[in-house]
C-alpha cells in the first residue's frame, strides 16, 4: 500500500538454521517477530514494527514424477506466480487458475489463496513449518492446515509460532480446465475459443490478461488487492437481502450458506465504487480494491476502510472483515 514505518530489526533467512538464529535473536532481545512474504497483503502501521521482521528467502523447486501426478516442493521464498509459470510450462494441471497472484509460496497457504474456482488447498499435499517453540521442523498434512475460505490455522494468532519453510503440491498430467467464472467465460466467448482445446498454459494467459485489465497497476499506485473478504451469509439472510436489493448475486457454498460478492454491495448498495477520499480511492474497475494514489498514511487507510465497513453494516447488517493483515500498532 506504500505506507508504514520501519522494522526495528529486519533479516533475510535462507535456510532452517538462519530461521533458528533469527528466532533465538528475537527471544534473547525479548521482542516479537513478524514473518513477511512479499508484503503484498499487509498494511504496516505508521510507527512501524517494534520487533524483528523475518523474510524467508528459501528458494528452490523440486519435481517428483509419480504415476498420475507430480509432487512439486517449493521453498517459502519462491515467487508464487513464477512457480505457477514453471508448472504450467510443464503442462501440469491444477494451479493454472491461481495465475497472476502476487506474493510468495510460503504466504499462499496462510490465507488459502483462491481465484476462479480453485483454492490452494485443492493442491496442497503438505506444508513444512519451523516451530519456534520447539525450534524443530515438522510437516503438516493438508487436513492439519484446516483450510477455510481465505483462512487456515496459520492465520490464527495462537499459531504465529509456525513459520512456513516449504510447501508441497500435487499436480496432474491430465485434468479438466476450470472456466466457470464469468470473466473467463466472457473472454472465451469474445475470442471465439474452444474450451476443450484449452491447455493450462492458455488459461494462465487468459487469466493474466483479465487480471491485468481489472486490477490496478502496482507500479503506479499502492494496493493490496482485495481489501475485504467476500461475506458468507446464511440462506435466510441472503433471501431477506435479495428482497431489499433485487439482483444481489449469491453463490451456494455447498454448506448451506451463500457467498456474496462484496464488490456488488459496495457498488450497487453503498454507491461507493470509485469513491475517493484524499489520496485514497476504491478502484473504479473493482470496488473491493483500495488504492493509494499518493501520500496517505496507514491510519488514513484504516479509517477509510472502516467507513466502508460501517456503511455496509448500516445498509445490509453484514459485518465484513479485512482480508489484508495489519502489522504493528493501530
Ligand atoms: P469475480 O469473478 O467478480 O467474483 C466475485 C465474487 O463472486 C467472488 O467472491 C467469487 O468467489 C464469487 N464468484 C463469482 N463467480 C463464481 C462462481 N461461478 N462460483 C462461485 N463463486 C463465484 O471476482 P474478481 O474480484 O474479479 O476476482 C477474480 C477471482 O480472483 C475471484 O475468484 C477472487 O476471489 C480472486 N481473488 C483472490 C484474491 C486472494 O486470494 N487474495 C484476491 C483477489 C481476487 P471466490 O472468491 O470464491 O472466487
CATH number, position 21 = 3.30.43.10
Q: In whole angstroms, give the CA distance from residue 88 to residue 201.
A: 5
- Number of compact structural domains in the chain: 3
pLDDT band at 275 (very low <50, low <70, confident <90, very high): very high
Query: Is 204 part of a structural domain of the chain?
Result: no
* C-alpha triplet 201, 204, 206: angle, nearest 5°: 110
| Mutation test residue for ligand 1: of 115, 214, 229, 267, the one with most atoms within 8 Å of CB | 115
Q: Are residues 69 and 167 located together in one domain of the fold?
A: yes
What is the average pLDDT across 199-203? 97
- What's the pLDDT score for residue 116? 96
What's the length of the chain? 330
Query: Is 138 part of a structural domain of the chain?
Result: yes
Q: In whole angstroms, give the CA distance from residue 192 to residue 166.
A: 40
Boundary of a domain, candidates 111, 138, 172: 172
What range does the domain containing 95 cover? 61-172
114: alpha, beta or left? (left if phi > 0; alpha if psi -120 to 50): beta
Q: Are residues 119 and 45 located together in one domain of the fold?
A: no
Average pLDDT, the chain: 96
Q: Are residues 270 and 240 located together in one domain of the fold?
A: yes
Query: Is 142 part of a structural domain of the chain?
Result: yes
Is the distance from the beta carbon of residue 286 to the nearest atom of ligand 1 less than 6 Å? yes
Question: Active-site residue numbers?
Answer: 150, 226, 323
| Mutation test residue for ligand 1: of 181, 186, 324, the one with most atoms within 8 Å of CB | 181
- What's the pLDDT score for residue 280? 97
* Helix 200-214 × helix 80-89 angle, to 10°: 150
- DSSP letter for each residue of 107-130: TTTTTT-EETTEEGGGTEEEEEEE
Boundary of a domain, candidates 172, 207, 238: 172
Q: In whole angstroms, give the CA distance from residue 291 to residue 282.
A: 6
- What's the pLDDT score for residue 274? 87
Q: Are residues 49 and 81 located together in one domain of the fold?
A: no
Q: Are residues 37 and 135 located together in one domain of the fold?
A: no
Query: Is 207 part of a structural domain of the chain?
Result: no
- What's the pLDDT score for residue 255? 84
Q: Are residues 81 and 155 located together in one domain of the fold?
A: yes
- What's the pLDDT score for residue 218? 86
Q: Are residues 66 and 166 located together in one domain of the fold?
A: yes
Boundary of a domain, candidates 17, 33, 56: 56
pLDDT band at 254 (very low <50, low <70, confident <90, very high): confident
Query: Is 143 part of a structural domain of the chain?
Result: yes
* HSE-up of residue 283 (Cα within 13 Å, Cβ side): 24
Query: Residues 59-103: pLDDT tens digits?
Result: 999 999 999 999 999 999 999 999 999 999 999 999 999 999 999
Query: Is 193 part of a structural domain of the chain?
Result: no
What is the domain-level CATH number for residue 158?
A: 3.30.465.10
Q: Are residues 38 and 115 located together in one domain of the fold?
A: no
Q: Are residues 149 and 237 located together in one domain of the fold?
A: no
What is the domain-level CATH number for residue 232?
A: 3.90.78.10
What is the average pLDDT across 281-307? 95
Q: Are residues 141 and 227 located together in one domain of the fold?
A: no
Q: Are residues 167 and 81 located together in one domain of the fold?
A: yes
- What's the pLDDT score for residue 144? 98
* Residue of minimum CA distance from atom 15 in ligand 1: 181
Ligand 1 centroid to Cα of residue 44, in Å, is 26
Is the distance from the beta carbon of residue 245 to the nearest atom of ligand 1 less than 6 Å? no
Query: Is 194 part of a structural domain of the chain?
Result: no
Q: Are residues 166 and 227 located together in one domain of the fold?
A: no
Is the distance from the beta carbon of residue 261 to the nearest atom of ligand 1 less than 6 Å? yes
Residue 234, pLDDT above cutoff 90:
yes
CA 309 to chain centre: 20
Query: Is 18 part of a structural domain of the chain?
Result: yes
Amino acid at each position: 500500500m506504500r505506507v508504514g514505518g520501519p522494522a526495528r530489526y529486519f533479516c533475510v533467512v535462507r535456510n532452517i538454521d538462519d530461521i533458528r538464529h533469527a528466532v533465538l535473536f528475537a527471544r534473547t532481545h525479548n521482542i516479537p517477530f513478524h514473518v513477511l512474504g512479499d508484503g503484498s497483503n499487509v498494511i504496516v502501521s505508521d510507527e512501524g514494527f517494534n520487533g524483528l521482521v523475518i523474510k524467508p528467502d528459501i528458494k528452490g523447486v523440486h519435481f517428483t514424477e509419480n504415476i498420475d501426478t507430480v509432487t512439486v516442493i517449493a521453498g517459502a521464498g519462491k515467487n508464487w506466480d513464477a512457480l505457477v509459470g514453471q508448472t504450467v510450462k510443464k503442462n501440469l494441471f491444477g494451479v493454472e487458475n491461481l495465475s497472476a497472484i502476487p506474493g510468495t509460496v510460503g504466504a499462499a497457504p496462510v490465507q488459502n489463496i483462491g481465484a476462479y474456482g480453485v483454492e490452494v488447498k485443492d493442491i496442497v499435499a503438505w506444508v513444512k513449518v519451523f516451530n519456534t517453540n520447539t525450534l524443530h521442523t515438522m510437516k503438516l498434512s493438508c487436513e492439519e492446515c484446516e483450510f477455510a475460505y481465505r483462512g487456515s490455522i496459520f492465520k490464527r494468532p495462537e499459531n504465529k509460532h509456525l513459520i512456513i519453510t516449504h510447501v508441497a503440491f500435487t499436480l496432474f498430467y491430465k485434468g479438466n480446465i476450470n472456466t466457470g467464472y464469468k470473466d473467463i467465460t466472457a473472454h472465451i466467448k469474445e475470442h471465439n475459443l474452444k474450451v476443450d482445446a484449452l491447455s493450462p498454459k492458455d488459461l494462465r494467459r487468459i487469466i493474466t490478461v483479465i487480471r491485468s485489465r481489472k486490477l490496478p497497476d502496482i507500479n503506479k499506485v499502492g494496493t493490496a488487492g482485495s481489501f475485504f473478504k467476500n461475506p458468507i451469509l446464511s440462506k435466510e439472510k441472503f433471501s431477506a437481502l435479495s428482497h431489499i436489493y433485487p439482483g444481489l448475486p449469491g453463490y451456494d457454498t455447498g454448506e448451506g450458506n451463500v457467498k456474496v460478492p462484496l464488490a456488488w454491495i459496495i457498488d450497487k448498495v453503498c454507491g461507493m465504487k470509485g469513491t475517493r477520499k484524499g489520496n485514497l480511492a476504491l478502484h473504479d474497475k473493482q470496488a473491493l480494491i483500495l488504492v493509494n494514489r499518493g501520500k496517505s498514511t496507514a491510519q488514513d487507510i484504516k479509517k477509510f476502510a472502516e467507513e466502508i465497513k460501517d456503511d455496509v453494516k448500516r445498509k445490509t447488517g453484514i459485518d465484513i472483515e479485512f482480508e489484508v493483515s495489519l502489522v504493528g500498532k493501530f
